Amino acid sequence: MTFASPFSLALVAITALAFLGLPIGHSMIAGSILYLLLAGQDMGAAAEQLLNGMYSNYIILSVPLFILAAEFMNIGSMTDRLMTFCNALVGRFRGGLAHVNILQSIIFAGMSGSAIADAAGTGRMMQMMMTRDGRYTSSYAAATTAVSSVIGPIIPPSIPMVLYALVSDASIGFLFLGGVVPGLLMALSQMAIVAVTSRRRNFPVEKPVPLRKLPRITWDAFPSLMMPVVLLGGIYSGVMTPTEAAAVAAAYALLISAGLYRSVGWRNFYNSLAISARTSISIGMLIAGSLVFNYVVTVENIPDSVRALLAGWELSPVGFLILVNVLLLVLGCVLEGTAILLIVVPVFIPTAQALGIDLVHFGVVAVVNIMIGLITPPYGLLLFIMASISGAPLRHIVRDIMPFLLAMVVALAILTFVPETVLWLPRLFGYQG
């Protein structure tokens, strides 16, 4: 491949258009069409790949439905009741609200599947709670919210895992199960950092909630806590596909918020539909662009070329995973996670299969990498979101996030070198991989 080859010029076009401000999905479509033009291929192949890919992949429909479910939770009082429940459990410890922040992300993870939805939804509320009366600095509250938000797409349901299933043909149900232990490990590493930091910086202890009130608080939050049970129970019992379960989750969230809690107005309902539509369109264009560009990558035989190159290096499975981890962590510093998942990760899948690496294990490790990239300087997306929400200087957020980042990289190493941390639960449910 030379600099003047059609593929090289297509890459230059995609990069240039992205730097000029065109969304990456549009840039990939434009660059792919340029490739087809220069290579003398049928220009209609771009439309064919886009339409066939979007039409034939029923699982893609779960993405907007999971987003809609999260929005219906935010407009109702489900999130408030979950916050109260989390505070009753862990708020009594030193640095209690930071622990609450992480715990609510574990629970909210079973409902939204999106780190950005978590940060923009409950994250905004946690930011206000933690900084009230100067109990925590705005930068530390923002850092805690950012790192806890990455738990959402690791514990099922997970939009990134849906996208990985799309490009790898791995079982989405077993991918969801594979994310449970890694998500809890990430949360445990974050809580350990909070415990150490709280003592060193003398963070406040919240007023304990009397134990006699705990049954009432739990009862108030019970319908919200049942949402992950309904969602995951439907998938693993075989009653629903993941897409159908996403639709049921959205309907359940609306039913509880509007019918039981009576906290949804028509304006809020309309706004949630509009926000979900805009977010879904944004992700949809990324998927569309990746489908067209992946066709170009396939025509150029890039995956086989990468596999041949790595075979020449004679990497072991562990060595290959270390290489992928390093590459994805570096790319996560400068690229958007969905683009990495849809463009870069598929290139490594044939090599992973050739080395005998389980695709569920590989997928979960890749998703965890990409989620860590969301909080990695200089361009981690969650850093900018929390800087906007909190008003804290970005450099202060980065300073407070570094201990969390180190702990999460250690957790990632455990997931990489001990595959059973990912595969234990799927195998318990009959996975043969």
Tell me the per-residue pLDDT of 258-282, one tens digit each, with 9 for 90 and over: 877 777 778 888 888 887 788 777 7
Element (H, E) at 67: helix 62-75
Query: How far is 66 from 243, CA to CA, in rounded Å?
Result: 9
Higher per-residue confidence, 160 vs 60 = 160
Measured CA to CA, the distance from residue 333 to residue 424 in angstroms comes to 31
Distance CA(235)–CA(206), nearest Å, equals: 38
Whose CA is closest to 73, among 104, 52, 30? 104
pLDDT per residue as tens digits for the range 349-396: 888 888 889 999 999 999 999 888 878 876 676 777 777 777 788 888
pLDDT at residue 363, rounded to an integer: 92
Over residues 220-236, mean pLDDT = 76
pTM above 0.95, yes or no: no
Choose the weakest-confidence range: 127-141, 342-356, 415-429: 127-141
339 compared with 375, residue with greater pLDDT: 375
| Mean pLDDT (the chain, rounded) | 79
CA 339, CA 367: separation in Å to the nearest integer?
12
Q: In a 3-state reduction of DSSP, which class is residue 217?
A: helix
Of the candidates 328, 301, 257, 323, which has an alpha carbon nearest to the alpha carbon of residue 69? 257
Q: What letter does residue 61 receive in the DSSP assignment?
A: G
pLDDT of residue 185: 93
Give the best-scoring range by mean pLDDT among 26-40, 173-187, 266-280: 173-187
| Tokens representing residue 106 in the block | 């574990």
Q: What is the DSSP letter of 80?
A: H
DSSP track, 348-388: HHHHHHHTT--HHHHHHHHHHHHHHHTTSTTT-HHHHHHHH
Select from 162, 251, 96, 189 the least CA-distant residue to 415.
189
Q: Where are the domains of the chain?
A: 42-428
Instruction: Write down how long the chain is.
Output: 433
Could you tell me the CA-to-CA distances from 194 to 107, 138, 351 in Å, in that order? 18, 15, 39
> Is pLDDT larger for residue 151 or for residue 79?
151
430: left (phi over 0), alpha (psi -120 to 50) or beta: left
